[in-house]
């Protein structure tokens, strides 16, 4: 997924905060999944801001290592392929 992309959660997916981040459930395919807490600011943005801007802000604030950003974008791409998040166009 690119830094310029904006993402939002699929409407058939619910998230619940947990110690490790969040537990997700898709009402469409009845699947559960784990969400790493570092992904939540990206998903919670609801398509309002590009992923790169969110990442830069988290890195500047010390909440995220710059080196972790490519991996998180890859995980978000995996969630997009599963229909958990969508790219806002």
Partner 1 sequence: MSSYDLLRQGLRAPICLTWEMTYACNLLCVHCLSSSGRRAPDELTTAEAKALLDEWAAMRVFYINVGGGEPMIRPDFFELMEHAIARRIGVKFSTNGTLVDRDAARWIASTDYLDVQISVDGASPDVNDAIRGVGSFSRARRAMELLAGEGFPFKVNHVVTRRSFDQLDALHGLVTGRGGRLRVTRLRPSGRGVAVWDALKLTQEQNRRLYTWLRAHPDVMTGDSFFHLSALGSPLDGLNMCGAGRIVCCVDPRGDVYACPFVLADEFRVGNVRDSSFASIWSDSPLFERLRGWEVGGQCRTCGAYGRCHGGCMAVKHFTGTPLDDPDPECVFAPESGPTATIIPLALSPRPIRP
Report yes or no: 36 and 22 within 8 Å, Cβ to Cβ. no
- For partner 1, the closer of residues 20 and 88 by Cβ is 20
Distance CA 45, CA 31 (A): 23
- For partner 1, the closer of residues 11 and 89 by Cβ is 11
Q: Is 16 in the site for partner 1 (CB under 8 A)?
A: yes
Question: What does the CA dihedral 71, 45, 89, 3 come to, rounded to 10 degrees?
Answer: -30
Q: Is 78 in the site for partner 1 (CB under 8 A)?
A: no
31-36: strand order across its sheet: 13-18, 21-26, 31-36
- For partner 1, the closer of residues 19 and 81 by Cβ is 19
Q: Is 89 in the site for partner 1 (CB under 8 A)?
A: no
Q: 52 φ, ψ to 5°?
A: -60, -40
Binder among 25, 52, 56, 75 for partner 1 (CB under 8 A)? 25
What is the contact surface with partner 1 in residues (CB under 8 A)?
14, 16-20, 23, 25, 27, 30, 32, 34
């Amino acid at each position: 997924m690119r830094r310029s992309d904006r993402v939002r959660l699929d409407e058939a997916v619910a998230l619940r905060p947990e110690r490790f981040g969040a537990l997700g459930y898709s009402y469409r395919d009845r699947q559960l999944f784990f969400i790493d807490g570092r992904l939540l600011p990206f998903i919670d943005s609801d398509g309002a801001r590009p992923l790169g801007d969110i990442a830069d802000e988290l890195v500047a604030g010390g909440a995220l290592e710059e080196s972790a950003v490519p991996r998180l974008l890859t995980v978000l791409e995996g969630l997009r392929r599963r229909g958990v998040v969508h790219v806002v166009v």
